[in-house]
């Protein structure tokens, strides 16, 4: 099989091989070939429609996938990490689909290009064969009929199988040679006899009616026989045969062979005509195939444009999806950074809260310790006041005894501490825990010494002592008058100070009542604490300022002390409120 048969088998054409001797394509076979061509054309159209439909299906699927992908991207921000992973998997699947579609399009493109190259190569071969056939036809018109028949046979052989046409050409050449030999013998016969020449000219005239080409060939070959020496020898032999009486038999044989050759020539002319019709049909089929190829090229260009558009759209969608993923990753990183910062802030606040709670606990313990100290100080003060009262009573009794029964109250309620301080100055030593306690001890010692003197001393000593006591009493009366005046002034000032202290105590108590409290223990103990602290500070100021003579300085110091306590209490209240608010915020978080 040659390339033409392969091409015909691929396209569904089944051209039958023609036999060597006088066979042509019948009408039934021609109609069958036409039906096959129509069926192939219909199949081609159906395949084209299916191809279009199959190409439209992935585009619709791609559009639906793109819409689903876009809808999922819109709800991507509201989703969780699982949705993000699903969408990333879908992006990867879409990329794989795009790659598979690209490979399929490439395969289709390569197959179409290979088919087009094959068709174009076959068309070029057919065009070359047609050009060769036209050249042969032009050359054959100049030559004789046999040469034409040979050219037609060669042109037909180009369309049919090479081996088949070689066999036909070989048979035709053999027959032409035999025919030429017979014609040469015929040309020799009329020289020896007119009758035989007339009988030989009749078939020659019939041959002229059949075709001009055969007669021209016979005449040329007869001329050649006249000139060739071997033909002369044959002629002489033929004349000898006629002389011996065998010419009639040979003539009949030659006439029969000539008739057979004429029949073969007529059949060959018919086959050549049929081959020409087949060539026309083949040219028409070539034109149709070229038109179909052009349509396929146009469809291929359209499909290529559609594929490029789809590819660009998918690439844009992929780029948009990648940009959205990058943005979401950036937002995710920002959220993670913010969450880490919030966690650090939360840890810092928790540490601060823990430190504040520890401070509150420490302050609560300090307050408890201070309250205990204040309670102990109050007890000490009460005990010292009772002792001082007892001492004052003792001093009054002693004064009454010494003055001879005259009741003089040296110490009033407001200046008892001051008179005790003045009496204790000559007898005091250094710094003691309490001035009043030191005075009491010195008075007790003096009392004990007086009792001893009274028991031990004699009357002379008592008289001298009485004289001294009288002088002393006189000096004491003077001092008493001075001290009474001074005590009045001090009482007035003490009353003013008491009023101020009471007012400040009322302000402090109101402030303590109005401030927020953490519990009942703090509420009950806060005024006692403040009162104890204020009393302690006042006592310390009195101790420190025993040598101070100016009472206004003492009042100023007391005022400063009260102001400091108020400011400290306000600052503590603000801190407590801030800590409470932070604790509430932390509990809410």
Q: What is the pLDDT of residues 27-85, one digit of tens each?
A: 777 777 777 777 787 777 788 887 777 777 765 555 566 566 656 655 555 555 666 67
Residue 519: per-residue pLDDT: 43
On whether the pTM is more than 0.85, the answer is: no
For residue 457, give the DSSP letter: S
Has residue 372 been placed in a domain?
Answer: no
Tokens 């068709």 identify what position?
119
Q: Using an 8 Å Cβ cutoff, are 5 and 14 in contact?
A: no
Residue 66: per-residue pLDDT: 59
Residue 254: per-residue pLDDT: 67
**Chain centroid to CA 444: how far?**
99
CB burial of residue 152 (10 Å; 0-12, 13-18, 19+): buried
Has residue 184 been placed in a domain?
Answer: no
Residue 122: per-residue pLDDT: 73
Residue 521: per-residue pLDDT: 45
**Three-class secondary structure of residue 100 per DSSP:** helix
- Cα(526)–Cα(234) distance, rounded to whole angstroms? 169
Number of H-type helices and E-type strands within the chain: 14, 0
- Cα(77)–Cα(338) distance, rounded to whole angstroms? 17
pLDDT digits (tens, 9 = 90+) for 171-211: 556 656 655 665 565 555 545 444 444 544 444 444 444 44
Has residue 332 been placed in a domain?
Answer: no
Residue 246: per-residue pLDDT: 55
- Cα(465)–Cα(448) distance, rounded to whole angstroms? 16
Angle at 542 between CA 539 and CA 544, to 5 degrees: 110
Domain count, the chain: 1
Q: Give every residue of the chain whose pLDDT is below 50, as ranges.
A: 1-23, 144-161, 190, 192-197, 199-211, 213-215, 217-219, 221-228, 231, 238, 242-244, 405-457, 517-531, 542-549
Has residue 379 been placed in a domain?
Answer: no
Residue 58: per-residue pLDDT: 61
By residue range, what is the domain housing residue 20? 3-179+273-327
Has residue 36 been placed in a domain?
Answer: yes
Has residue 15 been placed in a domain?
Answer: yes
Has residue 255 been placed in a domain?
Answer: no
Has residue 440 been placed in a domain?
Answer: no
Residue 160: per-residue pLDDT: 43
């Amino acid at each position: 099989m040659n390339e033409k048969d392969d091409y015909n088998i691929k396209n569904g054409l089944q051209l039958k091989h023609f036999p060597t001797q006088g066979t042509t394509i019948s009408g039934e076979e021609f109609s069958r070939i036409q039906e096959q061509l129509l069926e192939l054309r219909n199949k081609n159209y159906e395949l084209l429609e299916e191809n279009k439909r199959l190409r439209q299906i992935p585009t619709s699927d791609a559009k639906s996938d793109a819409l689903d992908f876009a809808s999922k991207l819109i709800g991507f921000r509201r989703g969780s990490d699982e949705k993000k992973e699903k969408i990333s998997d879908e992006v990867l699947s879409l990329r794989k689909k795009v790659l598979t579609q690209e490979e399929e399009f490439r395969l289709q493109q390569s197959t179409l290009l290979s088919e087009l190259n094959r068709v174009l190569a076959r068309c070029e071969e057919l065009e070359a064969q047609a050009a060769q056939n036209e050249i042969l036809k032009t050359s054959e018109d100049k030559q004789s009929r046999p040469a034409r028949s040979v050219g037609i046979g060669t042109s037909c052989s180009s369309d049919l199988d090479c081996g088949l046409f070689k066999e036909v050409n070989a048979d035709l050449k053999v027959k032409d040679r035999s025919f030429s030999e017979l014609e040469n013998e015929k040309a020799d016969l009329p020289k020896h006899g007119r009758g035989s020449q007339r009988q030989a000219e009749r078939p020659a005239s019939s041959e002229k009616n059949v075709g001009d080409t055969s007669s021209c060939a016979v005449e040329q070959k007869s001329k050649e026989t006249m000139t060739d020496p071997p033909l002369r020898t044959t002629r002489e032999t033929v004349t000898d045969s006629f002389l011996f009486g065998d010419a009639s038999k040979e003539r009949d044989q030659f006439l029969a062979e000539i008739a057979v050759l004429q029949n073969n020539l007529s059949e060959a002319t018919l086959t050549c005509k049929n081959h020409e019709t087949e060539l026309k049909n083949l040219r028409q089929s070539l034109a149709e195939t070229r038109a179909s190829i052009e349509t396929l090229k146009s469809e291929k260009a359209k499909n290529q444009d559609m594929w490029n558009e789809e590819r660009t759209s998918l690439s844009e969608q992929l780029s948009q999806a990648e940009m959205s993923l990058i943005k979401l990753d950036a937002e995710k990183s920002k959220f993670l950074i913010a969450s880490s910062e919030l966690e650090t802030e939360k840890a810092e606040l928790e540490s601060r809260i823990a430190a504040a709670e520890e401070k509150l606990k420490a302050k609560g313990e300090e307050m408890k310790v201070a309250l205990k100290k204040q309670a102990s100080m109050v007890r000490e003060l009460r005990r010292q006041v009772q002792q001082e009262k007892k001492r004052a009573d003792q001093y009054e009794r002693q004064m009454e005894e010494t003055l001879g029964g005259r009741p003089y109250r040296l110490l009033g309620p407001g200046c008892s501490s001051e008179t005790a301080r003045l009496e204790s100055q000559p007898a005091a030593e250094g710094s003691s825990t309490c001035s009043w306690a030191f005075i009491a001890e010195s008075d007790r010692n003096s009392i004990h010494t007086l009792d001893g003197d009274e028991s031990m001393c004699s009357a002379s000593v008592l008289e001298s002592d009485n004289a001294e006591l009288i002088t002393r009493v006189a000096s004491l009366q003077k001092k008493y008058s001075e001290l009474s005046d001074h005590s009045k002034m001090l009482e007035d000032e003490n009353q003013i100070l008491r009023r101020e202290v009471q007012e400040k105590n009322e302000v402090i108590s109101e402030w303590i009542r109005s401030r927020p409290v953490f519990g009942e223990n703090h509420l009950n103990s806060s005024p006692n604490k403040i009162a104890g602290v204020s009393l302690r500070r006042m006592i310390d100021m009195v101790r420190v300022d025993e040598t101070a003579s100016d009472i206004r300085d003492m009042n100023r110091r007391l005022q400063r002390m009260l102001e400091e306590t108020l400011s400290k209490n306000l600052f503590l209240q603000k801190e407590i409120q801030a800590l409470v608010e932070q604790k509430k915020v932390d509990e809410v978080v």
